Amino acid sequence: MMADQTIPTLRYVVVDDHEIDRLTIEGEASKYPFFAKVASCENALEASEFISRFQPDIIFADIEMPGMSGLDLVKNIAGQQTLPIFITSHPEFAVDGYEIEAFDYLLKPITSERFARCAFRIRDFYQMRARASAFERDSESNYITIKEGYDKYKIPLHDILYLEAMKDYTKMVTTSSQYLVLGTLVGMQERLPPGKFIRIHRSYIVNYKKISASKGNKIYISSYEIPIGKSYKNALTGIF
């Protein structure tokens, strides 16, 4: 379940060819004691050198930049533990960002409220990762078992809202809590019963009975807004 422990300082690199946008990110990040700046770069090539040298926890990367784009930069560091957060003036680019497993994206102009949601999401990920769970399911049962150390939690399948890929982990959001399970989204999908959960995005699997609305390229489950990936447009056929 959600850890209540403090987390170590999370180091970040920001890369954007516009100085005012870099300063905006730095100003917002300075409000949170768990963030520490490693470097502020005006192009992706410079940023890649800092990332290689310092292995930061987070990169805030503009998508459109002269030369190497933010998308290319993140593709080049694939396999590292750095969490990519994309920054863009174009909402349509957010879908591309999610397709390469961006952790989050921020739409310019960045507001304090939106940055706060991103910051706390990052914090929660590191808190949950410190207590990454194991996942078990009997193929004949209607529940799964989450193991955290010596503790076990039995979760009915109908309580699961959605699953989200987070690098080598999968976040499971239920009606009452959240868990971070060590294992890929594909691995989780193979162990869930077919017909109850559908893949709507490279990074998301949802309990289709929990979907309350579908608008454009997004669906809504409870208070959560989840994108629909380009390759999964037909996943909701017959549901909405």
**pLDDT of 137:** 73
pLDDT band of residue 4 (cuts 50, 70, 90) is very low
Angle of CA points 137, 143, 144, to nearest 5°? 40
H or E element, residue 48: helix 44-54
Q: What percentage of the chain has pLDDT greater than the value 70?
A: 89
Tens of pLDDT along 157-215? 999 999 998 877 889 999 999 888 888 888 888 888 878 899 998 889 999 999 999 88
Tens of pLDDT along 84-108? 999 988 766 555 545 556 788 899 9
Tens of pLDDT along 8-38? 799 999 999 999 999 999 999 999 999 999 9
Q: Look up the pTM and report it.
A: 0.67
| Nearest alpha-carbon partner for 187 in 176, 172, 208 | 172
**Residue 134 has which token pair?**
């194991």
List, in order of start, the domains of the chain with CATH numbers.
10-129 (3.40.50.2300), 134-236 (2.40.50.1020)
Which strands sit side by side in the sheet containing 218-221, from one edge to the other?
211-215, 218-221, 224-227
Angle of CA points 32, 130, 143, to nearest 5°? 120
What is the separation of C-alpha 126 from the centre of its chain, rounded to a whole number of angstroms?
12
Give CA separation, 60 vs 17, 65, 77, 84, 95, in Å. 12, 13, 13, 6, 16
More confident residue, 92 or 76: 76
Least confident range from 28-37, 130-139, 175-184, 221-230: namely 130-139
